[in-house]
Structure 1
């Protein structure tokens, strides 16, 4: 943690914006061990391995989720080499799934056209590979998550930090962001916000910390089609991870209610399926409809038509959503 982070945060206990840092151990780059103390309520927040802990009194839901992720074997068998390869690992076990995530991420990153002078908040940064990318572009980047542990949480940042690459890491609740109002130009999130049980509250906080005309970017969030049940069956749910599959109207309603002008983009991963005909889905009817769509995609005029109809596809069967919202009020 660097001293400059104090310019962005607010006390999660009393709301004050006045702090001072107490150092125990530092390196050439940052304060590694110590604490940050609120000048108003005197609450002290620990800094360990450069990570500032502003996650005070976490809810039972958050505690269960933390335990669930640390118990998930698939998330904990990773290596330094795997972390450094994200978002495009080369090993067969992870390559296919991550390709879809990376395709959509890179598409939206290109669309953002960052200049490098933006202040970016990465919500649900997890292993922090995306936070690293923002820092590499010259942005002032802050990654938050509820997970600290290496291979699933913010401690992965130590693999990326060094040289000209630096970004802040903060343990925090996305439904109660410990940052000053109008502090960020961009709030970014990949496959994270669906873990919130209250989208309206979550987008309310995102809107609060964004500057006017700032952007919120959602990548790879699951959506529920009209043909699907609201119940989200996933092995992580059994471990305590909070999973939701909101419909596209629910996503858009929460965003618009909190002052966002919204653009829904066709995911690059869906375009790739249409181009190759290699259609996947968790239900047989999704695969069937996908193969029909892929056939029409490859005939003259089909691509143009289906691109214009992709929101109808989202509503019908649910696809990984990619949305850019611009804050126009609030």
Structure 2
């Protein structure tokens, strides 16, 4: 049975329950109001810390899409996301990494479990909804971008499910609400990585899966200013490139136990990392940590359990 979204929502300021009020939502404790437009609660309130930067980023994504001519909806493309390389003959490394990582999450980490309540952050069009809905799961998509073509508004193409415009660092959901909380290529957009991972852990139930998929990384001696991100930064899109150790530390500080850590594309650690992976006291995760510590720029996926 689908849980009414209002039962899950909380004020992102004071975490009090919300109530319907004048075609929107209202917090009875701090008296803040939140609009509901096109069925999407707008919980990215301008008074939230960092909201101005997040709203500017949302506008930046729309501008980027228009400039690069992928703003208009494309049913044939959206129907096969993220598997554009296999289905459409593309050769896109980013989509290859997202495809591999979502398969691992669905088939190996979550496995045969069905009927779960799932929260995806940075969901964009919510293309992953179709996989969760097919498993009989309750799926909630959240993003700062509610645009009808490239944001949550496009989610209607995939089916009927809850969509919420929200900031991952101030999640408008009750504690211990979800069985799976994850994001794809989203953590590196956070203004405060540690805070966002803590928020993911807060709304996850004990024993829940919490994952960050296809997150960009840099070697420990590499500059945090990745030249590949300059075009996005010029559009006020919040881009950061962290070391794999920063991601691992953020998960640990949030009380999450990392169960699997690997390159986002599934490639094995190279030379010495592969050797380290074979040592009984090291294993694949530490071998990958060693590999990504020296690899210039690539990506990582972390799959964890909420203690």
Question: What does 1:24-39 correspond to in 2, within 5 Å?
Answer: 34-39=23-28
2:213–2:264 Cα contact (<8 Å) kept: no
Q: Distance in 2 between matches of 1:269 and 1:52?
A: 34
Where does structure 2 lack aligned partners over 5 or more consecutive residues?
none
**Which residue of 1 is the match for residue 82 of structure 2?**
87
Provide the TM-score with structure 1 as the length reference. 0.79
Tell me, yes or no, if structure 1 residue 119 matches structure 2 residue 125. no
Residues 3 and 40 of structure 1, relative CA distance in 2, 3 Å threshold? farther
1:13 positional shift: 4.5
In structure 2, what is the equivalent of residue 248 of structure 1? 244
Mapped to 2, the partners of 1:193 and 1:138 lie a distance apart of 27
Give the deviation of 1:43 after TM superposition: 3.9
Match of residue 11 from structure 2: 11
Shift in Å at residue 183 of structure 1?
0.9
Q: Pairwise CA RMSD of aligned residues?
A: 2.8
Mapped to 2, the partners of 1:313 and 1:45 lie a distance apart of 45
Task: Map 1:58-137 to 2 at 5 A.
Answer: 59-72=51-64, 73-74=67-68, 75-89=70-84, 90-92=87-89, 97-111=94-108, 112-137=110-135
Deviation at 1:254, TM superposition (A): 1.2
Conserved? CA contact 1:83–1:151, under 8 Å: no
Structure 1 residue runs without a partner (length 5+): 23-33, 275-288
* Structure 1 counterpart of 2:294, from 308, 312, 316: 316
Higher mean C-alpha displacement, 306-315 vs 122-131 = 306-315
User: For the pair shown, which has the larger CA radius of gyration, 1 or 2?
Assistant: 1
For the 8 Å contact 2:276–2:287, the answer to whether it is kept is no
Distance 1:49 1:322, change over 3 A: same
2:306, 2:277 → 1: CA distance?
31
Comparing 168-177 and 221-230, the one that deviates more = 221-230
Secondary structure of the residue aligned to 2:41 is strand
1:50 Cα deviation (Å)? 2.0
* Structure 2 Cα separation of the partners of residues 52 and 18 of structure 1: 11
Q: How many residue pairs were aligned? A: 290
- How big is the shift at 1:314? 1.2
CA offset at residue 78 of structure 1?
4.9
Give the deviation of 1:92 after TM superposition: 4.7
Superposition deviation, residue 106 in structure 1:
0.7
Contact 1:3-1:21 within 8 A present in 2 as well: no
Q: Does 2:215 align with 1:236?
A: no
Cα separation, partners in 2 of 1:310 and 1:39, compared to 1, 3 Å: closer
Q: 3-state DSSP class of the match of 1:129?
A: coil
Counterpart secondary structure, 2:218:
coil
- Distance in 2 separating the partners of 1:198 and 1:50: 29
